[in-house]
Chains A and B, each alone.
Chain A
Amino acid sequence: MGILSFFTKNKTKVGSAQTAKERLQIIVAHEHPGSTVTPAYLPELQNEIIEVVKKYLTISDRDVKCELTDKVDSNMSVLEVNIAMPKS
């Protein structure tokens, strides 16, 4: 806990306005036509991931979702790959 709290800033003092801002940043970045820059390689990347997963599992193309999002409070982008697997 001690080490953890060193890395996560003291968030207890932050008012609700900060929460509102962070939530909005995410939603606005998602919905704003100009602000979401989808890299051109993303569809191709998604296809290749599907091909790799297909080697081992039976999934359809629709079960895989790739998303690149910007983390709001740090200089970091996150590539999220969601694969819905059929129950075996």
Chain B
Amino acid sequence: MAKVIVVTSGKGGVGKTTTSASIGSGLAASGAKTVVIDFDIGLRNLDLIMGCERRVVFDLINVINKEANLQQALVKDKRIEGLYILPASQTRNKDALNRSGVKAVIEELKDDGFEYIICDSPAGIEQGAMMALYFADEAIVTTNPEVSSVRDSDRITGMLSSKSFRAEQQLDPVKVHLIITRYCPERVKNGEMLSIADINELLGIELLGVIPESESVLNASNSGEPVILNKDSDAGKAYQDTVERLLGVECDFRFIDYKKKGILSRIFGV
């Protein structure tokens, strides 16, 4: 049974696309046929983060408007078998999205045997974001440990429980997960940053993953390789754990406690 998962946040710049790229890659690497759809019409970036920007020919809007078929628009990932991306249009605006068009695309992807359909939402709560979340079975709310991001996450969680197809049809509600990104255990310990417990208490969403602040995220986007593929980086490992949890495997949260560097690790850098 195919699952539609929206990656959303309300606020911009918190790591939705980074998360979509890594979760999509992780799911595909586990053997599930996965597509990541960029809903950020006019400001597409998923292609850059996934490193396939030069292979984009057609896009989501072309498919919706029947100017191209789905197979023409899907870009196959070169690294991972069974991973595809459906890019956003760069020249149109978000009003080009409509419910029946998005529904048709998702249905066709399901018929094609995709097991996971990841919808990378644009920021905001306008048309693009609402279209990205409308057909979701599950949602990954991406949050930074910071006031505006937490507030917006709460707002978008409200939207998921009132404005989605599942809510409107009174089906089982959208299953909402929380990913905290750019987490700094040291600053949390010093009382300078909201802790996991604080955010949990405020939002009341099941915690799926905590991604530590890491230089490797910028390095990953610079080179167009989802950070999950960097097996040496903490952020990559944390995304891998997150994917495991999404697949139902229990694993401990890592990189959430601050350990003061001892003199040996300072010298040898381990």
Contacts and interface: CB of A to CB of B under 8 A. Distances in A.
A21 B147 CA distance: 8
Contacts of B241: none
B194 A17 contact: yes
Contacts of A18: 191
Contacts of B193: 17
Nearest to A25: B202
A16 B154 contact: no
Contact of A32 (B147, B158, B191): B158
B138 to A, nearest CB: 19
B147 A17 contact: no
A75 to B, nearest CB: 16
B127 interface: no
A24 interface: yes
A20 interface: yes
B198 interface: yes
Interface in A32-51: 32-34
A24 B193 CA distance: 13
A21 B154 contact: no
A34 B154 CA distance: 11
A28 interface: yes
Contacts of B150: 24, 28
A17 B202 contact: no
A11 B151 CA distance: 24
A21 B158 contact: no
A20 B194 contact: yes
B188 interface: yes
Interface in B187-239: 188, 190-195, 198, 202-203
Contacts of A15: 190-192
Given A24-B202, A25-B202, A17 B191 contact: yes
Q: Report the contact-size class of chain B (Cβ under 8 Å from the partner).
A: 10 to 19
A24 B201 CA distance: 11
B139 to A, nearest CB: 16
Interface in A1-31: 14-18, 20-21, 23-25, 27-28, 31
A9 to B, nearest CB: 14
A15 to B, nearest CB: 2
B194 A33 contact: no
Interface in B113-153: 146-147, 150-151
Interface string B150-162: 1100110010011
Contacts of B203: 28
B33 to A, nearest CB: 36
A23 B202 contact: no
Q: Which has the most chain B C-beta neighbours within 10 Å: A21, A24, A25? A: A24
Interface of B: 146-147, 150-151, 154-155, 158, 161-162, 188, 190-195, 198, 202-203
7 contacts: A15-B191, A24-B194, A28-B154, A31-B155, A32-B154, A33-B162, A34-B161
Which are the 9 A-B pairs with shortest beta-carbon distances?
A: A15-B191, A21-B198, A28-B154, A17-B191, A20-B147, A15-B192, A33-B158, A24-B202, A17-B193
